[in-house]
C-alpha cells in the first residue's frame, strides 16, 4: 500500500530533510527538526503525490487517504494529550502548504482549525481567557471563509472596523471578549448571506475543506505566476502539513516571531529577526502592530523603544540562540526560521535556507568556511555566477545619509487577487455576482469569482 501520510513530532519522524520531493520543503524540514530533537508540535504531511493524484483524478483523493489521515490524527491526539473536536480538551490544527521549492505567500493557510461553538467554550475554560478563545475563533472564521469558502475578506474587515467603532477603540487587541463573541456571530451571519449556508461546525468537515483549499491553491493565479517566474514545474505539486496548534496569543508569556540565523542583508553573524508578544504568526507580517527586535544590539541599532526578546524573555532567548546554533551546524547554511512561544515554552514551526543578498551570500560563505562549518571548495560553489555579476555593479552606500527627494501616493485602481475583487465598489461595477450550485457535492454555491470547490470527495 502506498504511504500517502508521514508523521512528525515528539522527537521522531517518518521523513527526513532529503525527502523534499515527496514531503515538500516545509514538511521535510519539520520532520528533520523533530528527528534532531527540536521542539516541533506534532503533526503529519500529506505528500506531493496526493496533490498529483488529486488533479489527475478530477479533484478526488486516493482511496486509502482517509484511513491514513485518521490514524495520523489519532497519533497527534496521543502526543498532544488532546482530542480533535472534543468539547472538553479540544485539539486545534493548522493546515499549511509546503511545495518542494519555497513559494512564500503564494498558497493558502488555515489556522485554529477545529473551533466551533462547543470547542471555543472548552478553549476559554482551559486557558482561563475568554478573550483569547474568541479572538482565535474570529480569526479562524475569517481565514476559513476567505481561503475555503471564497468569501471576500473585505466583508469581515468592515465588520471588524464596526466592532472597534462601537467599543471606541482603534486597535484589534483593544476589543474585549464580549466584542469578539458578537463579532464571531456577525461573521457567521455574513457567511450565510454570501453562500446561503451556515459556517461548518464539524471539525472533520473543516479539515477536509482546508486540505482541499491548499491543494487548489497550487493552481491559483499568483502561484502559477510565481512558478513561471522561478521555473518551478507545475507537475511538482504541493504537500499539505497538518499540525497541532501552538498559540502565541494566549497572554503576555506568549509570542510569535521570525528570524534569520545571520543578517540576510550584509551577511553579518548576528541573530536577525522580529517578534510580537501575544500575537499569532500573521500579525508579524500584517503590519498591524510594530514588531520588536530579537536582540538588544538590534534594538539600539534601530533606535527602538520597545524591549527586545533578549530583555523580556531572556531564558527563551538563550534557548532560541542554542537552536540557532544547532540548526546552522546541522544544515551548514544560514536558516530562515519561524517560532512560537506558548506560556514560556518555545516551539519551532519552520526552518528553510534563508534568502540573502549577493553581498550577504559572499560574506556568509567566507565566514562559514573560516568557522569550519563548510570547506573552502563548498564556499566557492555557493557563489553562483549571477551573484558575482551583482557584486560587480555599483551600489548605494548603506551608511550614507538618506535624503527624501520626493513623495508620492499610489493612483492604481483596485486589483483582482486570486480571483476575488479587492474592492467591493469595483465588484459592484463588474456587475452582479453569478451564483450556481457547486460541482458534485452540492454543498455550497460556487461563485464565478472563486476558486473551485474545496469540499472534495474522500473515498
Q: What does the pLDDT read at residue 289?
A: 80
Distance CA 233, CA 215 (A): 15
Please give the grid coordinates belonging to residue 357: 543578498
State the average pLDDT for the chain: 87
CA dihedral 160, 162, 166, 170 (to 10 degrees): 60
Strand order in the sheet with 345-353: 292-293, 272-277, 255-260, 335-342, 345-353
Instruction: Decide the pairing of beta strands 272-277 and 292-293.
Output: antiparallel
Q: What share of the chain in percent tops pLDDT 70?
A: 88
Nearest partner of 127 among 10, 9, 280, 248, judged by Cα: 248
Q: Domains of the chain: which residue ranges?
A: 5-244, 255-359
Cβ partners under 8 Å of residue 400, min gap 6 = none
CATH fold, domain 255-359, is: D-amino Acid Aminotransferase; Chain A, domain 1 (3.30.470)
Q: How far is the CA of 416 from the CAs of 191, 213, 291, 423, in angstroms?
A: 21, 19, 29, 8
Nearest partner of 337 among 356, 327, 329, judged by Cα: 327
Contact call for residues 280 and 249 (beta carbons, < 8 A): yes
Coil, strand or helix: which one is 23?
A: helix
Contact call for residues 306 and 201 (beta carbons, < 8 A): no
Please give the grid coordinates belonging to residue 344: 514560556
Contact call for residues 47 and 55 (beta carbons, < 8 A): no
Residue 426 has pLDDT above 50, yes or no: no
How sure is the predictor about 10, in pLDDT bands with cuts at 50, 70 and 90?
confident
CA dihedral 197, 202, 205, 210 (to 10 degrees): 90
How sure is the predictor about 412, in pLDDT bands with cuts at 50, 70 and 90?
low
CA angle 436, 439, 442 (to 5 degrees): 75
Q: Which of 140-149, 281-290, 315-324, 377-386 is the least confident region?
A: 281-290
Largest CA distance in the chain: 65
Coil, strand or helix: which one is 94?
A: strand
Instruction: Decide the pairing of beta strands 90-91 and 83-84.
Output: parallel
Residue 158 has pLDDT above 70, yes or no: yes
Residue 459 has pLDDT above 80, yes or no: no
Beta bridge partners of 335: 353
pLDDT per position as a tens digit, 38-51: 999 999 999 999 99
CA 336 from chain centre, in angstroms, equals 14
How sure is the predictor about 410, in pLDDT bands with cuts at 50, 70 and 90?
low
Please give the grid coordinates belonging to residue 321: 540562540
CA angle 383, 385, 390 (to 5 degrees): 90
Cβ partners under 8 Å of residue 403, min gap 6 = none
Q: What does the pLDDT read at residue 287?
A: 67
Average pLDDT score over residue span 407-419: 56
pLDDT per position as a tens digit, 427-453: 333 333 333 333 323 333 333 333 333
Q: How far is the CA of 235 from the CAs of 315, 363, 437, in angstroms?
A: 45, 36, 30
Distance CA 76, CA 42 (A): 6
Q: What does the pLDDT read at residue 457?
A: 37
Sequential DSSP letters for 313-377: -HHHHHHHHHHHHHHHHHHSS-EEEEEEEETTEEEEEEEEEPP--HHHHHHHHHHHHHHTSS-HH
Distance CA 22, CA 301 (A): 42
Please give the grid coordinates belonging to residue 68: 491514513
β strands within 107-253, DSSP E:
109-113, 238-244
Q: Which of 27-36, 66-75, 139-148, 402-411 is the least confident region?
A: 402-411
How sure is the predictor about 69, in pLDDT bands with cuts at 50, 70 and 90?
very high
Average pLDDT score over residue span 385-390: 81
Average pLDDT score over residue span 73-93: 97
How sure is the predictor about 411, in pLDDT bands with cuts at 50, 70 and 90?
low
pLDDT per position as a tens digit, 187-228: 999 999 999 999 999 999 999 999 999 999 999 888 999 999
CA angle 437, 440, 445 (to 5 degrees): 20
Average pLDDT score over residue span 250-270: 95
- Return the DSSP state at 107: S
Coil, strand or helix: which one is 158?
A: helix
Beta bridge partners of 7: 44
Coil, strand or helix: which one is 36?
A: coil
Of the candidate CATH numbers 3.40.50.150, 3.40.50.300, 3.30.1490.20, 2.40.30.260, the domain formed by 5-244 belongs to 3.30.1490.20
Amino acid at each position: 500500500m502506498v504511504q500517502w501520510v508521514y508523521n512528525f513530532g515528539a522527537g521522531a519522524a517518518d521523513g527526513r530533510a532529503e525527502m523534499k520531493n515527496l514531503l515538500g520543503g516545509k514538511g521535510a524540514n519539520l520532520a528533520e527538526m523533530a528527528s534532531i530533537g527540536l521542539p516541533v508540535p506534532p503533526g503529519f504531511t500529506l505528500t506531493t503525490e496526493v496533490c498529483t493524484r488529486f488533479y489527475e483524478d478530477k479533484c478526488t483523493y486516493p482511496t486509502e487517504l482517509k484511513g491514513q489521515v485518521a490514524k495520523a490524527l489519532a497519533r497527534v491526539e496521543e502526543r498532544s494529550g488532546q482530542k480533535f473536536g472534543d468539547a472538553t480538551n479540544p485539539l486545534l490544527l493548522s493546515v499549511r502548504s509546503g511545495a518542494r521549492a519555497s513559494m512564500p505567500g503564494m498558497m493558502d493557510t488555515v489556522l485554529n482549525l477545529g473551533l466551533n461553538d462547543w470547542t471555543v467554550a472548552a478553549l476559554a475554560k482551559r486557558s482561563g481567557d475568554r478573550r483569547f478563545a474568541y479572538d482565535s475563533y474570529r480569526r479562524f472564521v475569517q481565514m476559513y471563509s476567505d481561503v475555503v469558502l471564497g468569501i471576500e475578506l473585505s466583508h469581515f474587515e468592515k465588520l471588524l472596523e464596526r466592532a472597534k467603532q462601537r467599543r471606541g477603540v482603534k486597535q484589534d487587541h483593544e476589543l474585549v471578549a464580549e466584542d469578539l463573541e458578537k463579532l464571531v456571530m456577525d461573521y457567521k451571519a455574513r457567511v450565510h448571506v454570501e453562500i446561503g449556508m451556515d459556517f461548518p461546525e464539524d471539525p472533520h468537515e473543516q479539515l477536509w475543506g482546508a486540505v482541499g483549499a491548499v491543494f487548489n491553491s497550487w493552481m491559483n493565479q499568483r502561484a502559477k505566476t510565481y512558478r513561471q517566474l522561478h521555473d518551478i514545474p507545475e507537475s511538482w505539486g504541493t504537500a499539505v502539513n497538518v499540525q497541532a496548534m501552538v498559540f502565541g496569543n494566549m497572554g503576555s508569556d506568549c509570542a510569535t516571531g521570525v528570524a534569520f540565523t545571520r543578517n540576510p542583508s550584509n551577511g553579518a553573524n548576528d541573530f536577525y529577526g522580529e517578534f510580537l508578544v501575544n500575537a499569532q504568526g500573521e500579525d508579524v507580517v500584517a503590519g498591524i502592530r510594530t514588531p520588536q527586535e530579537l536582540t538588544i544590539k538590534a534594538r539600539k541599532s534601530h533606535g527602538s523603544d520597545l524591549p527586545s526578546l533578549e530583555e523580556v524573555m531572556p531564558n527563551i532567548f538563550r534557548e532560541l540562540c542554542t537552536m540557532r546554533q544547532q540548526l546552522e551546524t546541522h544544515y551548514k547554511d544560514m536558516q530562515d526560521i519561524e517560532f512560537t512561544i506558548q506560556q514560556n515554552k518555545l516551539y519551532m514551526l519552520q526552518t528553510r535556507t534563508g534568502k540573502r543578498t549577493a553581498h550577504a551570500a559572499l560574506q556568509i560563505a567566507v565566514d562559514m568556511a573560516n568557522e569550519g562549518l563548510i570547506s573552502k571548495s563548498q564556499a566557492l560553489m555557493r557563489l553562483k555566477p549571477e551573484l558575482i555579476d551583482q557584486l560587480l555593479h555599483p551600489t548605494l552606500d548603506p551608511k550614507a545619509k538618506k535624503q527624501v527627494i520626493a513623495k508620492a501616493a499610489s493612483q492604481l485602481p483596485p486589483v483582482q487577487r486570486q480571483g476575488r475583487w479587492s474592492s467591493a465598489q469595483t465588484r459592484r461595477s463588474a456587475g452582479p455576482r453569478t451564483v450556481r450550485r457547486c460541482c458534485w457535492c452540492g454543498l455550497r454555491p460556487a461563485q464565478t469569482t472563486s476558486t473551485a470547490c474545496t469540499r472534495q470527495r474522500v473515498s
